[in-house]
């Protein structure tokens, strides 16, 4: 069991991590160790080892999150650690350094307020890297006057970053009053397939829409007609891409790998009843699938996607899947993955996620699982999977009372009157 050092009082618990192919193996190891030790880890990618990927694509989002307070400390890894250090320090507010010894790991924080550590995935071993990360996380800035004076001189050299849009997830006290964002995420589950109609789990298997699913996809497009989309993102699986194409929204669709469905592993093609017959206590959102994705892995993928989406503004269409869509919604409002079991999602359903009052500190669900009148309940996964009235339980009542969901009258401003339906779909 990893040391519990990061649980000491005052030790950062929300840690961001990123790596290219040269640091991928070390990133996966450190991510596991940090989570076992109690940290809330946000993985900024890469999600797989791609030999020709570019480290700025992963290090910059991590550095922006550190600078804006979305994570308390960062760990950036490339082959040597040098490139990660160079690019991270280009982001205003980041103080990053390549670390290879324990003294520098704590002295850099104590004297220079280091907030991002860079490691060489091909240089340091796993054991040493873990020791360096622990020391870095436990260390605290001394606050001595001479160190503050030197840091102030460094800050004078920093300039705004014109190319990269900043992740706006800083605590309220650190933001100027009245600052709002109009990000609205339109989450669309793909239309029906033969397997969704028969209740079979469908993960990575790339199957096409059924005829009914094609009709559902066109219906979703009609409901969204006239909404200007700044971005249209779709899962790489063809059932989602077909839905996106048939919906024919304004904007050029982009493939987003993290919108792909939960990997069902050995349970691909099985029904809920089949699985319960062999594993009576099984719960997808607690146990995951044998030889597939774990709940932690799927949740981390959702967190990574959310961190990127928070850099956007305006209307964004997301064409995705049932299981992943439920996890995405839970993580959007800060719930653990296991709570995703309460978010039922029919085929060709429309959901809207946003910020209450435009405040990024208040992620909210404005509309959930709204389906075309002709769309049947989805029999997949749970016996009650089509009954969205199940969501009107104590959990959602609490969200309503605490302002976690915007009023119905607010959401109706964005859809035509004939498209406004009860959440039961």
Backbone angles phi, psi at 14, to 5 degrees: -105, 105
Closest alpha carbon to 41 in 21, 63, 70: 70
Closest alpha carbon to 257 in 14, 16, 47: 47
**354 part of the active site:** no
**Cβ–Cβ contacts within 10 Å for residue 414, how many?**
17
Give the residue carrying structure tokens 């691909």: 268
Closest alpha carbon to 330 in 348, 359, 305: 305
Alpha helices in 89-199 (DSSP H): 102-112, 126-138, 145-155, 194-198
Cα–Cα distances (Å) from 28 to 98, 121, 130, in that order, read 19, 11, 12
Give CA–CA dist 375/402, Å, rounded. Answer: 32
Q: Is 76 in contact with 24 (CB distance < 8 Å)?
A: no
DSSP code of residue 71: S
Q: Which residues are catalytic?
A: 78
């Amino acid at each position: 069991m990893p040391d519990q050092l990061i649980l000491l009082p005052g030790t950062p618990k929300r840690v961001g991590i990123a790596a290219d192919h040269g640091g991928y193996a070390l990133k996966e190891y450190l991510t596991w160790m940090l989570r076992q030790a109690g940290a809330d880890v946000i993985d900024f990618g890469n999600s797989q080892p791609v030999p020709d990927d570019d480290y700025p694509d992963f290090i910059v989002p991590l550095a922006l999150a550190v600078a804006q307070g979305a994570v308390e400390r960062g760990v950036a890894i490339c082959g040597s650690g040098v490139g990660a250090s160079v690019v991270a320090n280009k982001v205003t507010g980041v103080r990053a350094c390549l670390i290879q010894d324990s003294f520098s790991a704590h002295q850099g924080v104590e004297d220079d307020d280091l907030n991002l550590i860079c490691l060489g995935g091909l240089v340091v071993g796993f054991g040493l890297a873990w020791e360096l990360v622990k020391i870095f996380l436990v260390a605290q800035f001394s606050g001595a006057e001479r160190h503050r004076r030197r840091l102030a001189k460094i800050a004078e050299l920093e300039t705004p970053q014109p190319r990269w849009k900043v992740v706006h997830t800083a605590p309220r006290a650190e933001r100027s009053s009245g600052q709002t964002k109009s990000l609205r995420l339109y989450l669309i589950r793909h239309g029906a397939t033969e397997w969704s109609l028969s209740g079979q789990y469908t993960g990575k298997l790339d199957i096409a829409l059924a005829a009914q699913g094609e009709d559902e996809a066109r219906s979703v497009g009609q409901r969204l007609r006239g909404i200007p989309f700044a971005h249209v993102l779709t899962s790489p699986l063809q059932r989602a891409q077909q839905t996106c194409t048939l919906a024919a929204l304004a904007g050029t669709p982009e493939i987003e790998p993290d919108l792909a469905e939960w990997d069902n592993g050995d349970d691909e093609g099985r029904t809920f009843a089949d699985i319960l017959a062999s594993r009576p206590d099984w719960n997808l959102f607690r146990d995951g699938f044998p030889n597939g994705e774990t709940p932690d892995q799927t949740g981390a993928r959702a967190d990574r996607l959310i961190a990127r989406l928070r850099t956007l503004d305006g209307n964004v269409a997301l064409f995705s899947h049932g299981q992943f869509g439920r996890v995405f919604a839970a993580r959007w409002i800060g719930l653990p993955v296991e709570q995703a079991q309460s978010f039922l999602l029919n085929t060709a359903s429309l959901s809207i996620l946003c910020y209450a009052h435009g405040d990024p500190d208040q992620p909210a669900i404005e509309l959930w699982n709204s389906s075309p009148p002709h769309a049947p309940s989805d029999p997949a996964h749970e016996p009650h999977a089509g009954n969205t009235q199940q969501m009107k339980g104590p959990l959602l009542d609490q969200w309503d009372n605490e302002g976690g969901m915007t009023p119905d009258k607010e959401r109706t401003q964005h859809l035509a009157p004939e498209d406004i339906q009860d959440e039961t779909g």
